[in-house]
Amino acid sequence: MLTMADGLKIGIVGATGAVGQELLSLFDQRSTQISELRLMSGPRSAGSTISFRGEDLTVALAAADQFDGLDVVFFSAGAGVSKSLASAAVDAGALVVDNSSAFRMDEGVPLVIPEINWSVAGEQKIIANPNCSTIILLMAIAPLRSLGKIKRIIASTYQSVSGAGAIAMQELIDQTRVVLDGGEAVPESFGHQCAFNVFSHDSDVDGNGFNVEEQKMFEETRKILEDDEIGLSVTCVRVPVLRAHSEAILVEFEGDAPSVEEARRVLSQADGVRIVDDREANHFPMPIESGGEDDVFVGRIRKDAASSNGLWLFASGDQLRKGAALNALQIAERAFS
């Protein structure tokens, strides 16, 4: 059985994007053994070069005939690309780790956060990475299940612009400069100005008033926690932050909520979670500190003031890392361990 240590033949579809670039830097940080690296993009960047470990690699146009011989292919180019090309990668014998929403809710496709539900991965040839806001939410609350049954979750997100990709990050930088210089910002990636603004998440809103991001968090949480009764109501909002999403989370238990001390103890022992909870210094999770880090930061742990069964948390995690590239790489690391 091939392992990571043998040096894998790896493909990345979407290598020039925000998630693809993060994956490349994680390969270096985690000393991923790679015997071949095939980088793919859309027509915009095809033919360009990316320097990796001292070699200039030419980016190919992603196509069904590009996957021969690869052990694993990371897809991060949107759901449409995954739907049209993932089966070709599987047919070529590769494990597909998909960052898009294409297969997440498909029966038979495991939706995996390794620290929480690696056991569902099995021998499947497509493994889906959950939505980034779902990953950050569940990293913060899943460990608390050892303290009592979770009945309902109410959350509000503060999502960075990098959740919408590399071009959106540049847009926030450019718009900030334009506005500071007295100019007028012209929104392109979003329907609204992102610099100096806060707006409802840029995904379609359904007849009940929830947008697609909020629905994803609801459906994916139920699938990952294997609990069709858990209630979840979320408000997803974009904030002018470059990277790392934050979330204010109320966790409601079936009985009384655990104490703050119990919750802090369990969370401090959870893999991939870092407690940042200093009331005296008023120091809690912030994107400026969680950005670029692997852990999801959790703090502001406090009992709900309105009911005995609620516990509040504030979480912040780099959604390009744990919310996308890192989670995907951890899946591959476990699959080839």
Q: Is 303 helix (H, G, I), strand (E, B) or coil?
A: strand
Q: Which of 144, 139, 133, 143 is nearest to 311 (CA)?
A: 144
241, two tokens: 């932050």
Site pattern 102..141 for ligand NAP (x: CB under 6 A): ------------------------------x---------
Which amino acid makes up residue 144? L
Task: Collect all residues with Cβ–Cβ distance below 8 Å to 277 and sequence separation of at least 6.
Answer: 264, 284, 298, 299, 300, 301
Q: Is 323 in the site for ligand NAP (CB under 6 A)?
A: yes
Q: Is 19 a binder of ligand NAP (CB under 6 A)?
A: yes
The contact pattern for ligand NAP, residues 262-301, with x = CB under 6 A and - = no contact, is: ----------------------------------------
Is 132 an annotated catalytic residue?
yes
Cα(23)–Cα(49) distance, integer angstroms: 16
Nearer to ligand NAP, 74 or 284 (CB): 74
* Catalytic residue from among 132, 194, 201, 236: 132
Total site size for ligand NAP, rule CB under 6 A: 30
Cα–Cα distance for residue pair 80/13, rounded to 1 Å: 12
Q: Of 194, 201, 236, 245, which one is the catalytic site residue? A: 245
- Report if residue 316 touches ligand NAP, rule: CB under 6 A: no
**172 forms part of the interface with ligand NAP (CB under 6 A):** no
Length of the chain: 337
Alpha carbon 312 to chain centroid, angstroms? 22
Q: Which stretch binds ligand NAP (CB under 6 A): 36-44, 267-275, 287-295, 301-309?
A: 36-44
Catalytic residue check, 192:
no
Under 8 Å between Cβ of 246 and 135: no
Residue 159 touching ligand NAP (CB under 6 A) = no
For residue 143, the tally of other CB atoms under 10 A from its CB is: 22
Residues of this chain that bind ligand NAP (CB under 6 A): 13-20, 41-42, 44-45, 62, 76-79, 81, 99-100, 132, 162-163, 165-167, 319-320, 323-324
